[in-house]
Amino acid sequence: MKRITRRSIFRRLHITTPPSASGALTGLRVLDISRVLAGPYCAQLLSDHGAEVIKVEPPAGDETRSLGPPFIGDSAAYFSALNRNKRALALDLAQPAGREVLLRLLEDADVLIENFLPGTMEKWGLGFGEVLSRRFPRLVYCRITGFGASGPLGSLPGYDAVLQAMGGLMSINGAPEIGPTRVGTPLVDVVTGIYCAFGVMLALAAREKTGRGQMVDGCLYDTSLSLLIPHAANFFASGKVPGLTGSAHPNIAPYDKFATADGEIFLGVVNDGQFRKLCAVLDQPGWAEDPRYAGNAARLRNKEALKADLEEVLRGHEPAALCKTLMAAGVPAGPVHTVAQALDHAHTAHREMAVEAGGMRMLGVPVKLSATPGAARTAPPRFAEHTDEVLAQAGYGDEEIAKLIAEGAVRIERAGARKP
Distances (CA, A) of 115 to 43, 91, 162: 12, 16, 16
- Distance, CA of 305 to CA of 379 (rounded, Å): 51
Domain coordinates in residue numbering, the chain: 6-227+355-411, 255-336
Task: Find how far residue 43's CA is from the centre of its chain.
Answer: 9
- Distance, CA of 164 to CA of 155 (rounded, Å): 18
Nearest to 148 by CA among 226, 217, 198, 215: 217
Q: What is the pLDDT of residue 220?
A: 98
Task: Find how far residue 96's CA is from the centre of its chain.
Answer: 32
Q: Is 317 a catalytic residue?
A: no
Q: What is the longest distance spanned by two Cα atoms in the chain? A: 88
253 Cβ contact partners less than 8 Å away, ≥ 6 residues apart: 269, 296, 299, 300, 302, 303, 306
Q: What is the pLDDT of residue 15?
A: 30
Q: Is the peptide bond before 254 cis (omega within 30 degrees of 0)?
A: yes
Out of 3.40.50.12780, 3.40.1640.10, 3.50.50.60, 3.30.1540.10, the CATH code matching 255-336 is 3.30.1540.10
Instruction: Spell out the CATH class of 6-227+355-411.
Output: alpha beta
Nearest to 369 by CA among 50, 43, 18: 50
Q: What is the pLDDT of residue 20?
A: 55
Q: Coil, helix or strand for 291?
A: helix
358 Cβ contact partners less than 8 Å away, ≥ 6 residues apart: 84, 378, 379
Burial class (CB in 10 A: 0-12, 13-18, 19+), 254: buried
Q: Strand locations in 75-224, DSSP E?
A: 75-76, 86-91, 111-114, 140-145, 215-219
Predicted TM-score (pTM) of the model is: 0.91
> Tens digit of pLDDT per residue, the chain (420 long)?
344 444 333 333 333 344 456 799 999 999 999 999 999 999 999 999 999 999 999 999 999 999 999 999 989 999 999 999 999 999 999 999 999 999 999 999 999 999 999 999 999 999 999 999 999 999 999 999 999 999 999 989 999 999 999 999 999 999 888 999 999 999 999 999 999 999 999 999 999 999 999 999 999 999 999 999 999 999 999 999 999 989 999 999 999 999 999 999 999 999 999 999 999 999 999 999 999 999 999 999 999 999 999 999 999 999 999 999 999 999 999 999 999 999 999 999 999 999 999 899 999 999 999 999 999 999 999 999 999 999 999 999 999 999 999 999 999 999 887 666
Name the catalytic one among 249, 317, 347, 386.
249
Q: Coil, helix or strand for 337?
A: coil
Q: What is the pLDDT of residue 22?
A: 77
Q: What is the pLDDT of residue 21?
A: 66
98 Cβ contact partners less than 8 Å away, ≥ 6 residues apart: 91, 92, 409, 410
Let me know: does 321 contact 327? Beta carbons within 8 Å: no
**Given this chain, do its domains 6-227+355-411 and 255-336 carry the same CATH topology?**
no
Let me know: does 79 contact 162? Beta carbons within 8 Å: no
Q: What does DSSP assign to residue 292?
A: G
Listing DSSP states for 266-285 in one string gives EEE--SHHHHHHHHHHTT-H
Listing DSSP states for 208-265 in one string gives HHHS---EEEEEHHHHHHHT-TTHHHHHHHH-PPP---TTS-SS-SSEEEEE-SSSEE
